[in-house]
Structure 1
Amino acid sequence: MSENLTHTVTLTAGGAEVTVDPVHGCRLTSLRLDGTELLRQGDRYGCFPMVPWCGRIDHGRFRNGGDVHQMPVNSGPHAIHGTGRDVAWTTRRADERSAVFTYDLADPWPYSGKVTQMVELNPGSLTLAMGVETYGDSFPAQAGWHPWFLRNLGTGKDAEIGFSPAWQEERGADHLPTGRRIDPQPGPWDDCFGMPDGVDVTLRWPDALELRITSRAEWVVVYDEQAEAVCVEPQSGPPNGLNTQPRLVTPIDPLEISTTWTWRTTA
């Protein structure tokens, strides 16, 4: 493990190297396998945690019991991807292959609590785990990850996405799920899919690399409408889920989610 003057944490295992920037939203800024970068570079990219919600909230508003809360609108008329990516996290522990980071929930989120992210690197896999706990009142929350994988690794062939979801959430003109489940449609996608047996998506860069993304979570958003990158986002609930499928974090029941990425070369 190394930590440089910008407070990034770098983990290494065999030919794999991952860099985390806790100061800027605890995002993974780099994942290199034998020197090949897998993540799109830039302040908005890499792989960032989505917490305490994932995707869009309808006009930034959600209800908890009789209380209605307004989140800052930052994607058209909606609030998107949580607040965790916009704050500084604290490095609690780091060694050569693993690290733990935390931050306390605060304004504009209306409830007090703590978020923990663990990053663990092995020679053939990367595991990310996140937990959301409350310091008092119960509240609805979601958690997940938004990785930006490079569409092309320089091999001349673009990534191919392989998965078999049970359904697709029909997307309305407002980019929110309508509440209707439909048969999976052909891409390109900016869509949420249900995988009740757990997320299982494979990215294949022909003649280069195969990367499998798994999680016990039952929801995944796939976004491949940009030329530069593809996104496979395991998450604990669908977009706008704070309103449509709220999962309460209580003093005795924190929200926990994890994902593991495994890879093998196919050259």
Structure 2
Amino acid sequence: MATLQEQTLVIIPARLASARLPGKPLADIGGQPMVVRVARQATLAGVGRVAVATDSREIAAAVEAAGFEAVMTREDHQSGSDRVFEAAQIMDPEGRADIILNVQGDIPAIEPETIRRSVLPLASSPADLATLAVEIADEADRTNPNIVKIVGSPLGDGLLRALYFTRATAPYGDGPLYHHIGLYAWRRQALARFVALAPSTLEKRESLEQLRALEDGMRIDVAIVDSVPLGVDTPADLERARRILAADQAPSSRNGQ
């Protein structure tokens, strides 16, 4: 039987167009393009073959110059999920890989362990896809519509079964709220089914693509992790990422070293 690593493709969708931060995947962070940093972290996770899916020759060249795999995809994709599915078909036309992990290309400080956690629910449940969540600690985040919340039923051992995703404050009453982290580990058949669907009613209302899967009856399991990886959407986010990664890489000053 194939191992989980042999069954998994890790695909990072990346495009140059960005309303708030043009050229985002190639933004320099400590001497490396951001998308290359994500590819490096995904490779360190050791969960499967890693590639960047892009419609940009410039991005592909930067990725390949750093020693990683790039896959050229069409320019007309409406979402990262569509691009990831096309890349999976190119990388593995025989369909040997059963799990397709979509890792966003704008989370340069993500820990390899966080990437590994996004795949693990599929090893022990019949879920169609899996994703991640962090318990919300900041009171302001509970009412922030930019923080997507997961309403889920506990499965035990740091797992939930997702019932709904929303920008509202939910569920009502005492108890934890969970911040959704947008990594998706898909079973290949579920991703093929998903990209063939039209955008759904609740997806359009909440502007949340994952609701299309729930509305179609797919099961989404959620692994709870300890921290939210910094996403880079604005110039301010980029500067913060540069500071965080520079601090992480600075040599220790203890004992004169």
TM over 0.5: no
* Larger helix percent: 2
- State the TM-score, normalizing by the size of structure 1: 0.29
* Larger strand percent: 1
The higher relative CO (CA closer than 8 Å, separation ≥ 6) is in 2
